[in-house]
Amino acid sequence: MPSLASVEAYLERIGLAGRADAGLGEIHRAHATTIPFENFDSFSGTPVSLDLGDLEAKIVGRRRGGYCFEHNLLLASALESLGGIEASPLLARVRLGPEDSPRPLNHLLLRVRDRDGAVWLADVGFGGGGLLDPIPFESGVESDQSGWHYRIVEDGPELVLQVFQDGGWSDMYGFVPEPAEQVDIVVNNWFTATHPESPFVTGLMAGLRSLERCLSLFVNEQAVLVERPVGGESVITEVPLQDVPALLASRFGIEGVVLHDEHLVLRSDR
Protein backbone atom coordinates (compact mmCIF):
# COMPACT_ATOMS: atom_id res chain seq x y z
CA MET A 1 0.00 0.00 0.00
CA PRO A 2 1.24 3.55 -0.65
CA SER A 3 2.26 5.68 2.34
CA LEU A 4 0.25 8.59 3.71
CA ALA A 5 1.51 12.08 2.99
CA SER A 6 1.02 12.87 6.69
CA VAL A 7 0.45 10.04 9.15
CA GLU A 8 0.50 12.68 11.90
CA ALA A 9 -2.55 14.41 10.38
CA TYR A 10 -4.36 11.05 10.18
CA LEU A 11 -3.62 10.31 13.84
CA GLU A 12 -4.93 13.76 14.80
CA ARG A 13 -8.09 13.09 12.76
CA ILE A 14 -8.86 9.95 14.80
CA GLY A 15 -7.96 11.48 18.15
CA LEU A 16 -4.53 9.89 18.54
CA ALA A 17 -2.32 12.93 17.90
CA GLY A 18 1.32 12.18 18.64
CA ARG A 19 0.65 8.45 19.03
CA ALA A 20 2.86 6.97 16.31
CA ASP A 21 3.41 4.06 18.73
CA ALA A 22 -0.29 3.11 18.71
CA GLY A 23 -1.06 -0.49 17.82
CA LEU A 24 -3.57 -1.99 15.42
CA GLY A 25 -6.39 -2.36 17.95
CA GLU A 26 -6.14 1.18 19.27
CA ILE A 27 -6.00 2.69 15.78
CA HIS A 28 -8.90 0.55 14.54
CA ARG A 29 -11.20 1.51 17.42
CA ALA A 30 -10.25 5.19 17.20
CA HIS A 31 -10.96 5.28 13.44
CA ALA A 32 -14.24 3.35 13.76
CA THR A 33 -15.61 5.66 16.46
CA THR A 34 -14.40 8.95 14.98
CA ILE A 35 -14.83 9.01 11.19
CA PRO A 36 -18.44 8.62 10.00
CA PHE A 37 -19.70 6.40 7.23
CA GLU A 38 -21.41 8.46 4.51
CA ASN A 39 -22.08 8.29 0.78
CA PHE A 40 -22.75 11.92 -0.13
CA ASP A 41 -20.44 11.78 -3.16
CA SER A 42 -22.11 8.81 -4.88
CA PHE A 43 -25.56 10.06 -3.83
CA SER A 44 -24.86 13.45 -5.43
CA GLY A 45 -23.38 11.98 -8.62
CA THR A 46 -19.73 12.68 -7.82
CA PRO A 47 -17.37 9.79 -8.73
CA VAL A 48 -15.58 8.35 -5.71
CA SER A 49 -11.81 8.50 -6.13
CA LEU A 50 -9.62 5.89 -4.43
CA ASP A 51 -6.42 7.80 -5.06
CA LEU A 52 -4.70 8.03 -1.69
CA GLY A 53 -4.08 11.76 -2.02
CA ASP A 54 -7.79 12.31 -2.69
CA LEU A 55 -8.74 10.14 0.29
CA GLU A 56 -6.44 12.08 2.61
CA ALA A 57 -7.70 15.42 1.30
CA LYS A 58 -11.33 14.40 1.76
CA ILE A 59 -11.37 12.40 5.00
CA VAL A 60 -8.40 13.91 6.85
CA GLY A 61 -8.15 17.40 5.40
CA ARG A 62 -11.85 18.28 4.95
CA ARG A 63 -12.92 15.99 7.81
CA ARG A 64 -15.47 14.16 5.70
CA GLY A 65 -16.49 10.53 6.02
CA GLY A 66 -16.73 7.92 3.31
CA TYR A 67 -17.81 4.37 2.58
CA CYS A 68 -15.97 1.05 2.88
CA PHE A 69 -13.56 1.41 -0.06
CA GLU A 70 -12.43 4.81 1.19
CA HIS A 71 -12.29 3.99 4.91
CA ASN A 72 -10.39 0.75 4.64
CA LEU A 73 -7.90 1.82 1.97
CA LEU A 74 -7.08 4.87 4.10
CA LEU A 75 -6.68 2.64 7.16
CA ALA A 76 -4.46 0.21 5.24
CA SER A 77 -2.10 2.97 4.14
CA ALA A 78 -2.05 4.45 7.64
CA LEU A 79 -1.14 1.11 9.22
CA GLU A 80 1.66 0.44 6.76
CA SER A 81 2.91 4.03 7.09
CA LEU A 82 3.38 3.44 10.83
CA GLY A 83 5.64 0.47 10.08
CA GLY A 84 5.59 -3.24 10.82
CA ILE A 85 1.92 -3.80 9.91
CA GLU A 86 0.86 -5.37 6.60
CA ALA A 87 -2.64 -4.85 5.21
CA SER A 88 -4.25 -6.61 2.22
CA PRO A 89 -7.67 -5.62 0.84
CA LEU A 90 -10.35 -8.27 0.21
CA LEU A 91 -13.74 -7.97 -1.48
CA ALA A 92 -16.99 -9.24 0.06
CA ARG A 93 -20.69 -9.65 -0.65
CA VAL A 94 -22.98 -8.09 1.95
CA ARG A 95 -25.52 -10.56 3.38
CA LEU A 96 -27.58 -8.34 5.69
CA GLY A 97 -31.20 -8.00 4.62
CA PRO A 98 -33.18 -10.20 2.21
CA GLU A 99 -31.04 -12.25 -0.16
CA ASP A 100 -33.39 -12.59 -3.10
CA SER A 101 -30.63 -12.40 -5.71
CA PRO A 102 -26.83 -12.63 -5.94
CA ARG A 103 -25.13 -9.51 -4.63
CA PRO A 104 -22.12 -7.71 -6.09
CA LEU A 105 -18.70 -7.55 -4.46
CA ASN A 106 -19.37 -4.07 -3.15
CA HIS A 107 -17.73 -4.27 0.26
CA LEU A 108 -14.01 -3.94 1.04
CA LEU A 109 -12.32 -5.27 4.18
CA LEU A 110 -8.71 -5.89 5.24
CA ARG A 111 -6.61 -8.86 6.26
CA VAL A 112 -3.92 -7.43 8.54
CA ARG A 113 -0.72 -8.92 9.96
CA ASP A 114 0.34 -7.00 13.06
CA ARG A 115 3.83 -6.36 14.42
CA ASP A 116 3.71 -9.64 16.38
CA GLY A 117 2.75 -11.70 13.33
CA ALA A 118 -0.90 -12.26 14.34
CA VAL A 119 -3.47 -12.07 11.51
CA TRP A 120 -6.72 -10.13 11.88
CA LEU A 121 -9.82 -9.11 9.96
CA ALA A 122 -9.97 -5.31 10.14
CA ASP A 123 -12.93 -3.30 8.88
CA VAL A 124 -13.78 0.32 9.77
CA GLY A 125 -16.09 0.81 6.79
CA PHE A 126 -19.28 -1.13 7.44
CA GLY A 127 -21.29 1.81 8.73
CA GLY A 128 -23.16 1.98 12.01
CA GLY A 129 -23.11 -1.75 12.73
CA GLY A 130 -19.52 -2.65 11.96
CA LEU A 131 -16.61 -3.82 14.06
CA LEU A 132 -15.13 -1.76 16.86
CA ASP A 133 -11.94 -3.83 16.93
CA PRO A 134 -10.13 -6.22 14.62
CA ILE A 135 -11.23 -9.85 14.95
CA PRO A 136 -8.89 -12.87 14.70
CA PHE A 137 -8.76 -14.05 11.10
CA GLU A 138 -9.93 -17.58 11.85
CA SER A 139 -13.18 -19.45 12.00
CA GLY A 140 -15.06 -20.08 15.22
CA VAL A 141 -13.41 -17.50 17.49
CA GLU A 142 -15.94 -15.22 19.17
CA SER A 143 -14.82 -11.63 19.76
CA ASP A 144 -16.36 -9.60 22.61
CA GLN A 145 -15.89 -5.93 21.76
CA SER A 146 -17.17 -3.89 24.72
CA GLY A 147 -20.33 -6.00 24.80
CA TRP A 148 -20.74 -6.37 21.03
CA HIS A 149 -20.11 -9.93 19.80
CA TYR A 150 -18.73 -10.98 16.42
CA ARG A 151 -17.32 -14.16 14.91
CA ILE A 152 -16.17 -15.66 11.62
CA VAL A 153 -17.70 -18.92 10.34
CA GLU A 154 -17.09 -21.01 7.23
CA ASP A 155 -19.65 -21.35 4.44
CA GLY A 156 -18.21 -23.42 1.61
CA PRO A 157 -15.31 -21.51 0.04
CA GLU A 158 -16.28 -18.31 1.87
CA LEU A 159 -15.68 -16.98 5.33
CA VAL A 160 -18.63 -15.11 6.83
CA LEU A 161 -18.48 -12.36 9.42
CA GLN A 162 -21.43 -12.59 11.81
CA VAL A 163 -22.81 -10.34 14.57
CA PHE A 164 -24.86 -11.51 17.56
CA GLN A 165 -28.07 -9.52 17.78
CA ASP A 166 -31.74 -10.06 18.59
CA GLY A 167 -30.88 -13.33 20.32
CA GLY A 168 -29.01 -14.98 17.47
CA TRP A 169 -26.15 -14.78 14.98
CA SER A 170 -26.74 -12.79 11.77
CA ASP A 171 -24.55 -12.81 8.66
CA MET A 172 -22.94 -9.47 7.80
CA TYR A 173 -20.93 -10.40 4.72
CA GLY A 174 -19.15 -13.31 3.06
CA PHE A 175 -15.78 -13.30 1.32
CA VAL A 176 -13.18 -15.57 -0.23
CA PRO A 177 -10.00 -15.08 1.84
CA GLU A 178 -7.79 -14.03 -1.08
CA PRO A 179 -6.33 -10.54 -1.64
CA ALA A 180 -8.19 -8.50 -4.25
CA GLU A 181 -6.42 -7.18 -7.32
CA GLN A 182 -6.38 -3.40 -7.63
CA VAL A 183 -8.25 -3.54 -10.94
CA ASP A 184 -11.10 -5.46 -9.25
CA ILE A 185 -11.21 -2.94 -6.40
CA VAL A 186 -11.46 -0.08 -8.90
CA VAL A 187 -14.19 -1.80 -10.96
CA ASN A 188 -16.32 -2.69 -7.93
CA ASN A 189 -15.91 0.77 -6.46
CA TRP A 190 -17.01 2.29 -9.76
CA PHE A 191 -20.10 0.06 -9.84
CA THR A 192 -20.96 0.90 -6.23
CA ALA A 193 -20.56 4.65 -6.74
CA THR A 194 -22.14 5.09 -10.17
CA HIS A 195 -24.54 2.30 -11.14
CA PRO A 196 -28.07 3.76 -11.31
CA GLU A 197 -29.46 0.86 -9.23
CA SER A 198 -26.74 0.91 -6.60
CA PRO A 199 -28.17 1.73 -3.14
CA PHE A 200 -25.25 4.14 -2.74
CA VAL A 201 -26.65 6.13 -5.69
CA THR A 202 -30.38 5.84 -5.02
CA GLY A 203 -30.31 6.67 -1.30
CA LEU A 204 -28.36 8.50 1.36
CA MET A 205 -26.71 6.58 4.21
CA ALA A 206 -24.75 7.63 7.27
CA GLY A 207 -23.39 5.62 10.18
CA LEU A 208 -21.22 5.97 13.25
CA ARG A 209 -20.09 3.57 15.97
CA SER A 210 -19.59 4.27 19.64
CA LEU A 211 -18.89 1.91 22.51
CA GLU A 212 -22.52 2.20 23.61
CA ARG A 213 -24.48 2.12 20.36
CA CYS A 214 -24.67 1.57 16.62
CA LEU A 215 -26.18 4.57 14.85
CA SER A 216 -27.43 4.56 11.25
CA LEU A 217 -29.46 6.94 9.10
CA PHE A 218 -31.14 5.98 5.82
CA VAL A 219 -32.80 8.51 3.53
CA ASN A 220 -34.87 7.30 0.58
CA GLU A 221 -38.53 8.21 0.26
CA GLN A 222 -38.32 9.10 3.95
CA ALA A 223 -35.59 9.44 6.55
CA VAL A 224 -35.17 6.70 9.17
CA LEU A 225 -32.81 6.71 12.16
CA VAL A 226 -31.81 3.29 13.53
CA GLU A 227 -30.23 3.10 16.99
CA ARG A 228 -29.05 -0.15 18.56
CA PRO A 229 -27.70 0.06 22.10
CA VAL A 230 -25.17 -2.53 23.23
CA GLY A 231 -27.06 -5.65 24.27
CA GLY A 232 -30.39 -4.22 23.15
CA GLU A 233 -32.78 -4.18 20.22
CA SER A 234 -32.87 -1.61 17.45
CA VAL A 235 -35.08 1.45 17.83
CA ILE A 236 -36.31 2.85 14.51
CA THR A 237 -37.46 6.46 14.31
CA GLU A 238 -38.80 8.35 11.30
CA VAL A 239 -37.15 11.76 10.96
CA PRO A 240 -38.66 14.76 9.12
CA LEU A 241 -36.46 15.67 6.17
CA GLN A 242 -36.00 19.22 7.43
CA ASP A 243 -34.44 17.84 10.63
CA VAL A 244 -31.84 15.69 8.87
CA PRO A 245 -29.07 18.34 8.47
CA ALA A 246 -29.06 19.14 12.20
CA LEU A 247 -29.21 15.43 13.05
CA LEU A 248 -26.22 14.68 10.83
CA ALA A 249 -24.22 17.45 12.49
CA SER A 250 -25.13 16.63 16.09
CA ARG A 251 -25.16 12.82 16.04
CA PHE A 252 -22.81 11.89 13.19
CA GLY A 253 -20.36 14.79 13.09
CA ILE A 254 -21.21 15.44 9.44
CA GLU A 255 -21.22 19.20 8.87
CA GLY A 256 -22.24 21.25 5.84
CA VAL A 257 -25.47 19.48 4.81
CA VAL A 258 -28.35 21.75 3.83
CA LEU A 259 -31.88 21.18 2.55
CA HIS A 260 -32.42 22.81 -0.84
CA ASP A 261 -35.69 22.39 -2.76
CA GLU A 262 -36.51 19.30 -0.68
CA HIS A 263 -33.14 17.72 -1.51
CA LEU A 264 -30.23 17.15 0.85
CA VAL A 265 -27.12 18.86 -0.48
CA LEU A 266 -23.58 18.97 0.84
CA ARG A 267 -22.07 22.45 0.59
CA SER A 268 -19.36 22.71 -2.07
CA ASP A 269 -16.71 23.69 0.50
CA ARG A 270 -17.13 20.28 2.14
Question: Could you confirm whether 28 is annotated as catalytic?
Answer: no
Q: Which of 41, 107, 114, 214 is catalytic?
A: 107
Mean pLDDT of 196-223: 95
Give the residue-averaged pLDDT of 123-136.
94
Active-site residue among 71, 123, 133, 214? Answer: 123
Predicted pLDDT at 100: 63
Distance in angstroms (rounded) separating the CA atoms of residues 4 and 247: 32
pLDDT tens track for 175-185 = 999 999 999 99
The helix/strand/coil state of 118 is coil
Going by pLDDT thresholds of 50, 70 and 90, the confidence category of residue 98 is low
Among 68, 71, 114, 214, the one annotated catalytic: 68
Q: Given pLDDT bands bounded at 50, 70 and 90, which one contains residue 192?
A: very high
28-87 pLDDT tens trace: 999 999 999 999 999 999 999 999 999 999 999 999 999 999 999 999 999 999 999 999
Q: 142: helix, coil or strand?
A: coil
Query: pTM for this structure?
Result: 0.95
68 given a catalytic annotation: yes
Domains in the chain (CATH in brackets) are 7-266 (3.30.2140.20)
82, 76 Cβ separation under 8 angstroms? no
Any catalytic annotation for residue 214? no
What average pLDDT does the segment 117-122 reach?
98
Per DSSP, helices labelled H in 33-181 are 40-43, 52-55, 68-82
Q: What sign has the CA pseudo-torsion 211, 148, 142, 104?
A: negative
